[in-house]
Structure 1
Amino acid sequence: MVAALNSGLRRVHAWVLYAAAPFPVLWIYYLGLTGQLGVDPAKVIEHQLGLWSLWLIIAGLAVTPLRRFAGVNLLKFRRAIGVITFFYLLAHLLTWLVLDVQFQNVWADIVKRWYITVGMLAFVLMVPLALTSNNWSLRKLGTDTWRKLHKLVYPIAILGALHFLLLVKGFQWEPILYALVILGLLATRIRELPWASRSTPARG
Structure 2
Amino acid sequence: MNRKTLITLKTLTWIACLSPFALLAYEAVTNTLGPDPTSTIALTTGYNALLMLILSLAVTPLRLLSSRLSWLIKFRRLLGLFAFFYASIHLATYVALYLNFDMSIFKTDITKRRFIIAGFLAYSLLVPLAATSTTWSIRKLGGKRWNRLHKLVYLAAICGIIHYWWQVKPGVLSPMNLTITLVVLFLARPVLTFLQKRRTQRAVSV
State TM-score, norm by structure 2: 0.82
Give the count of matched residue pairs. Answer: 190
Q: Are the equivalent residues in 1 in contact too, given 2:54–2:182 (CA < 8 A)?
A: yes
**2:26 partner letter:** Y
Aligned to 1:151: 151
Shift in alpha-carbon separation, 1:11–1:25, aligned structure 2, 3 A: closer
Q: Are the equivalent residues in 2 in contact too, given 1:57–1:85 (CA < 8 A)?
A: yes
Alignment gaps of 5+ in structure 2: 201-206
Give per-residue Cα distances to partners, 1:33-64, cap 9 Å, x unaligned: 42212221011111000011011011101111
Alignment gaps of 5+ in structure 1: 1-5, 192-199
Aligned to 2:55: 59
Per the TM alignment, residue 13 of structure 1 is displaced from its structure 2 partner at its CA by: 6.4
Per the TM alignment, residue 111 of structure 1 is displaced from its structure 2 partner at its CA by: 1.3
Report the secondary structure of 2:174's partner residue: helix
Give the distance between the partners of 2:165 and 2:17, measured in 1 at CA.
26
Q: Are the equivalent residues in 2 in contact too, given 1:158–1:183 (CA < 8 A)?
A: no
Q: Are the equivalent residues in 1 in contact too, given 2:50–2:160 (CA < 8 A)?
A: yes
Between the two proteins, what is the percent identity of the paired residues?
37
Shift in alpha-carbon separation, 1:148–1:15, aligned structure 2, 3 A: farther
Q: Are the equivalent residues in 1 in contact too, given 2:115–2:167 (CA < 8 A)?
A: yes
Query: Are 1:131 and 2:128 an aligned pair?
Result: no
Shift in alpha-carbon separation, 1:108–1:29, aligned structure 2, 3 A: farther
Give the distance between the partners of 2:29 and 2:97, measured in 1 at CA.
12
- The 5 Å alignment of 1:1-204 reads 9-12=5-8, 14=10, 17=13, 21-70=17-66, 71-73=68-70, 74-104=72-102, 105-190=105-190, 203=197
Going by fraction, where is helix more abundant, 1 or 2?
Answer: 2
> Which segments of structure 1 move beyond 6 Å, counting only runs of 4 or more?
none
Query: Between Structure 1 and Structure 2, whose CA radius of gyration is higher?
Result: 2
Report the secondary structure of 2:69's partner residue: coil
Report the secondary structure of 1:189's partner residue: helix
Report the secondary structure of 1:25's partner residue: helix
Give the distance between the partners of 1:92 and 1:129, measured in 2 at CA.
17
State TM-score, norm by structure 1: 0.83
Give the distance between the partners of 2:47 and 2:5, measured in 1 at CA.
26
Cα RMSD for the two superposed structures: 2.4
